[in-house]
């Protein structure tokens, strides 16, 4: 256990009636970072968070918070606080009563607590809300009050269980930025659970992607997007085109791969040693493919196809291209730089796709 | 603009409606009309079965009993008698005290049972709720008699304790006194107290309790600061549901109360029965109602103060 880790999760599993919700997870969360647990519903991210809060206890393994083993410590004695998915605002108390709820044992006088509450209201940009009833608050306001109620305790770690899920899109994007700025200001470690990959990428220093109770990859947003190590991560984060491939040549950190409809592709192999003849997965992001209506000259990485269906999304379009020898069309993203979408009405026209060498991601075949 | 023009051209003529359709349309447009329509069977029944008899009772209380009929001239005589003879008010106050004790005992006994079903029973909640109503499957009278058997001089408790050698002579303080009335009524009304408390506990969002724990409160303080205040509506409903009817009860005091356990209901019953003085009985009943209303208002005011103080 290194000193930079405020939370250390060691070999933790959680079973519910024989089903492994969390399966042998090892994870270190650094002091002061914004850390996200990302995954589809049922992947175990919420269970893991609830184990940090103490509402569930691990079937196996141990959780350390600030070098202290947590298995014998009940929720009300842990140095963490949580923002619940439903916010769990006490309906019988006003905003002040909610925010000050955890301050009973703080040793502060009533007026000191009230002053702290006012500070918190200032921080969450709801000044003058102290005597509002809990039932008079909107969704966004409840979320802020829940945040203030947890932060007033100055926890070592703040746990957030999909706190933005119930908000509409605009408010959610605003709260993402605010939450991120707030975290930088207070310097408390945030552990944030979400199923929204965009949200995780926007806010986090590092993200752990979970699937079926396991942590598949822990990395910063860019690393996760550009260098996924598994097909699941590549597919879950953003959009990805996958091709089956066979390694033909591998030397000096680059490999030449026979990728079916894409033809021969070359890619950097990073650290993994790919052996000649191995079956692998070749992946490429839609925005890294360049689509042209004429052959792009003597480039190395070119594939010819026909235009398929297209979807206009306003700022960009998703075009689908049929390549011979492949049932599923290849997705291509195009920025709509002019005021009309290129290629939208060009169904069945011959098109060419080209890409740079470093656009290709190689993944192990599972 | 072109599309706007199309829409206005397509506007339809409002149809001419018959009377039935017009009533229907009015009902569709006005939410309150539908509400009253839905309530009307209940309201008619309340009028016939509650308001009318109550009016008769109040009218009766201003008449005077002759031997075989009523003197229908308006008079306050019954109320003067009521306040002049100490027995009526004394008995009323005693009744309020006894049913206050019954209410307290019932709610205190009911709360843990309701808490258990709401929080600890994970499946078959319905079965537990039905089990609570099982005593009601037998007659109220039978249950009171059963308590007589349990509490009596040679009853289950006394003979049991004597057999065990705990006592030499039967305990006499457990039957034919107010304690016996409290025990019997608390048992009889338990289900009426459990159900409202259960409903209010069941409604509490479990994440609120987790939030209380998360914010540093152990089980006892979480209960006092979250569960208890949020279940107050159930506690209030239970209290009223038990207090109001038991104040006027006369079967239980009659059977297990003995001479000291008599309540105001017994007097009302005898005035309408053996004493054959309906107008005085009516006046006594009206005064009981008035007094109980006062007590209930005071109780509601008090709980409101407490809740505001806590919040």
Nearest CA in chain A to B205: A88
**Three-class SS of residue B292?**
helix
pLDDT in tens, A250-307: 877 788 888 888 888 888 776 666 788 888 899 999 999 998 888 887 767 888 899 9
Please report residues of A whose CB lies closer than 8 A to that of B214: 53, 75-76, 80-82, 150
B304 vs chain A: nearest CA distance in angstroms?
12
Mean pLDDT for chain B overall: 90
Q: Label residue B6 by pLDDT band (50, 70, 90).
A: low
**Three-class SS of residue A132?**
coil
pLDDT in tens, B263-311: 999 999 999 998 899 999 999 999 999 999 999 999 999 998 887 776 5
**Torsions phi, psi for A189 (to 5 deg):** -70, 125
Q: What are the residues whose beta carbons fall under 8 Å from the beta carbon of B5, sequence distance 6 or more?
A: none
Topology given in CATH for the domain delimited by A239-364: OB fold (Dihydrolipoamide Acetyltransferase, E2P) (2.40.50)
C-alpha torsion sign, points B281, B286, B289, B291: negative
Q: How far apart are CA A322 and CA A304, in angstroms?
A: 9
Among B28-32, B131-135, B223-227, whose mean pLDDT is lowest? B28-32
Task: Say if strands A80-83 and B70-71 run parallel, antiparallel, or are unpaired.
Answer: unpaired
Who wins on pLDDT, B172 or B143?
B143
Q: What are the residues whose beta carbons fall under 8 Å from the beta carbon of B55, sequence distance 6 or more?
A: none
Please report residues of A whose CB lies closer than 8 A to that of B230: 91-92
Going from the C-alpha of B236 to that of each of A156, A237, B27, B111, the distances in angstroms are 41, 53, 36, 12
**pLDDT score of B1 more than 50:** no
Most A CBs within 10 Å: which of B200, B206, B216, B309, as the mutation test of the A interface? B216
So what CATH class is B81-310? mainly alpha
**What pLDDT, on a 0 to 100 scale, did the predictor assign at position B4?**
53
**What pLDDT, on a 0 to 100 scale, did the predictor assign at position B120?**
93
**What pLDDT, on a 0 to 100 scale, did the predictor assign at position A68?**
93
**Average pLDDT estimate for A121-131:** 92
- Can you spell out the DSSP letters for B113-161? HHHIIIII--S-HHHHHHHHHGGGGS-HHHHHHHHHHHHSTTSHHHHHH
**What pLDDT, on a 0 to 100 scale, did the predictor assign at position B311?**
56
A93 vs chain B: nearest CA distance in angstroms?
5
Please report residues of A whose CB lies closer than 8 A to that of B311: 92-94, 97
Answer whether A199's CB lies under 8 Å from A238's CB: no
**pLDDT score of B2 more than 70:** no
C-alpha torsion sign, points A144, A145, A147, A153: positive
Q: Write down the H helix ranges in chain A.
A: 45-53, 95-99, 110-123, 139-151, 169-186, 197-203, 221-226, 231-236
Mean pLDDT for chain A overall: 91
**What pLDDT, on a 0 to 100 scale, did the predictor assign at position B214?**
96
Check whether domain A5-235 has CATH 3.40.980.10, yes or no: no
Most B CBs within 10 Å: which of A57, A95, A101, as the mutation test of the B interface? A101
Please report residues of A whose CB lies closer than 8 A to that of B212: 76, 90, 101
Please report residues of A whose CB lies closer than 8 A to that of B217: 76, 101-102, 104
**Three-class SS of residue B287?**
helix
CB atoms within 10 A of CB B185: 28
Q: Label residue B48 by pLDDT band (50, 70, 90).
A: very high
**Average pLDDT estimate for A227-246:** 93
**What pLDDT, on a 0 to 100 scale, did the predictor assign at position A3?**
65
Q: Which long-range contacts (CB under 8 A, 24 or more apart) does B143-148 make?
A: B143/B184, B143/B187, B143/B188, B144/B184, B144/B188, B144/B251, B144/B252, B144/B255, B144/B256, B145/B255, B147/B180, B147/B183, B147/B184, B147/B187, B147/B256, B148/B175, B148/B255, B148/B256
**pLDDT score of B82 more than 60:** yes
pLDDT in tens, B230-248: 999 999 999 999 999 999 9
- Can you spell out the DSSP letters for A178-245? HHHHHHHHH--EEEEEES-HHHHHHH-SEEEEEETTEEEEEE-HHHHHHS-SSHHHHHHSS--EEEEE
Among A120-129, B11-20, B131-140, B286-295, whose mean pLDDT is lowest? B11-20
**Three-class SS of residue A267?**
strand
**Three-class SS of residue A146?**
helix
pLDDT in tens, B175-229: 888 999 999 999 999 999 999 999 999 999 999 999 999 999 999 999 999 999 9
**What pLDDT, on a 0 to 100 scale, did the predictor assign at position A1?**
45
State the DSSP H helix or E strand holding residue B30, giving kind and residue range, or none if neither. Answer: none
Most B CBs within 10 Å: which of A47, A70, A92, as the mutation test of the B interface? A92
Going from the C-alpha of A205 to that of each of A35, A67, A155, A173, the distances in angstroms are 6, 22, 19, 17
Q: Facing residues of A319 across strands?
A: A310, A332
pLDDT in tens, B58-77: 999 999 988 788 888 899 99
Answer whether B70's CB lies under 8 Å from B52's CB: no
**What pLDDT, on a 0 to 100 scale, did the predictor assign at position A49?**
97
**Torsions phi, psi for B303 (to 5 deg):** -65, -35
**What pLDDT, on a 0 to 100 scale, did the predictor assign at position A271?**
60
Percent of chain A with pLDDT over 90: 66
Domain with CATH 1.10.3720.10 in chain B: 81-310
pLDDT in tens, A183-225: 999 999 999 999 999 999 999 999 999 999 999 999 999 999 9
How many angstroms separate the most distant Cα atoms in chain B? 104
Q: Where are the domains positioned within chain A?
A: 5-235, 239-364
Q: How far apart are CA B226 and CA A90, in angstroms?
A: 8
């Amino acid at each position: 256990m290194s000193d930079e880790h405020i939370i250390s999760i060691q070999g933790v599993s959680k079973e519910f009636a024989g089903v492994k919700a969390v399966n042998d997870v090892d994870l270190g969360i650094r002091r002061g970072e914004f850390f996200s647990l990302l995954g589809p519903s049922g992947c175990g991210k919420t269970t893991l968070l609830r184990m940090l809060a103490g509402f569930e206890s691990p079937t196996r393994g141990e959780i350390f918070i600030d070098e202290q083993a947590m298995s014998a410590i009940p929720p009300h004695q842990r140095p963490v606080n949580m923002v619940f998915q439903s916010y769990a605002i006490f309906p019988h108390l006003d905003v002040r009563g909610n925010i000050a709820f955890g301050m009973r044992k703080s040793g502060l006088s009533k007026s000191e607590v009230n002053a702290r509450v006012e500070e918190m209201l200032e921080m969450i940009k709801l000044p003058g809300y102290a005597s509002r009833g809990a039932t008079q608050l909107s969704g966004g306001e409840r979320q802020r009050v829940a945040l203030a109620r947890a932060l007033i305790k100055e926890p070592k770690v703040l746990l957030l269980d999909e706190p933005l899920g119930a908000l509409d899109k605009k408010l959610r994007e605003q709260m993402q930025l605010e939450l991120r700025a707030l975290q930088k200001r207070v310097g408390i470690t945030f552990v944030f659970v979400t199923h929204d990959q965009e949200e995780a990428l926007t806010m986090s220093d590092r993200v752990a992607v979970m699937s079926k109770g396991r942590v598949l990859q822990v990395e910063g947003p860019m690393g996760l997007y550009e260098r996924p190590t598994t097909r699941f991560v590549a597919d879950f984060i953003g959009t990805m085109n996958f091709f089956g491939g066979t390694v033909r040549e591998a030397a000096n950190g680059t490999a030449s791969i026979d990728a079916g409809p894409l033809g021969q592709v070359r890619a950097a192999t990073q650290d993994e040693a790919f052996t000649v003849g191995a079956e692998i997965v070749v992946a490429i992001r839609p925005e890294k493919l360049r689509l042209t209506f004429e052959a792009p000259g003597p480039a190395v990485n070119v594939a010819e196809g026909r235009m398929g269906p297209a979807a206009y999304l306003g700022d960009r379009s998703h075009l689908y291209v049929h390549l011979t020898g492949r049932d599923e069309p290849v997705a291509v993203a195009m920025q709509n730089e002019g005021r009309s979408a290129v290629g939208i009405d060009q169904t069945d026209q011959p098109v060419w796709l080209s890409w740079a060498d470093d656009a290709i991601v190689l993944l192990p075949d599972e | 603009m072109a599309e706007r023009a199309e829409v206005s051209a397509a506007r339809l003529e409002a149809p001419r409606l018959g009377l039935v359709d017009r009533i229907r349309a009015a009902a569709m447009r006005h939410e309150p009309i539908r509400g009253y329509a839905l309530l009307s069977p209940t309201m008619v029944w309340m009028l016939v079965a509650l308001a009318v008899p109550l009016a008769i009772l109040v009218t009766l209380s201003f008449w005077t009993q002759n031997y075989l009929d009523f003197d229908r001239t308006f008079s306050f005589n019954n109320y003067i008698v009521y306040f002049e003879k100490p027995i009526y008010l004394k008995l009323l106050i005693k009744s309020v005290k006894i049913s206050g004790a019954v209410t307290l005992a019932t709610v205190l006994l009911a709360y843990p049972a309701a808490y258990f079903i709401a929080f600890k029973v994970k499946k078959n909640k319905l079965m537990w709720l039905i089990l609570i109503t099982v005593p009601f499957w037998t007659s109220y009278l039978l249950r009171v008699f059963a308590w007589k058997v349990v509490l009596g001089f040679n009853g289950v408790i006394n003979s049991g304790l004597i057999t065990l050698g705990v006592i030499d002579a039967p305990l006499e303080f457990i039957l034919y006194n107010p304690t016996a009335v409290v025990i019997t009524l608390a048992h009889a009304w338990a289900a009426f107290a459990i159900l409202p408390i259960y409903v209010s506990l069941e409604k509490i969002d479990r994440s609120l309790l987790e939030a209380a724990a998360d914010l540093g409160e152990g089980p006892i303080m979480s209960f006092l600061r979250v569960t208890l205040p949020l279940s107050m509506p159930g506690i209030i409903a239970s209290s009223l549901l038990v207090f109001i009817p038991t104040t006027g009860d006369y079967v239980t005091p009659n059977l297990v109360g003995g001479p000291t356990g008599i309540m105001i209901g017994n007097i009302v019953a005898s005035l309408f029965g053996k004493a054959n003085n309906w107008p005085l009985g009516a006046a006594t009943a009206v005064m009981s109602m008035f007094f109980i209303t006062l007590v209930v208002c005071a109780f509601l005011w008090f709980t409101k103060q407490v809740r505001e103080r806590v919040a």
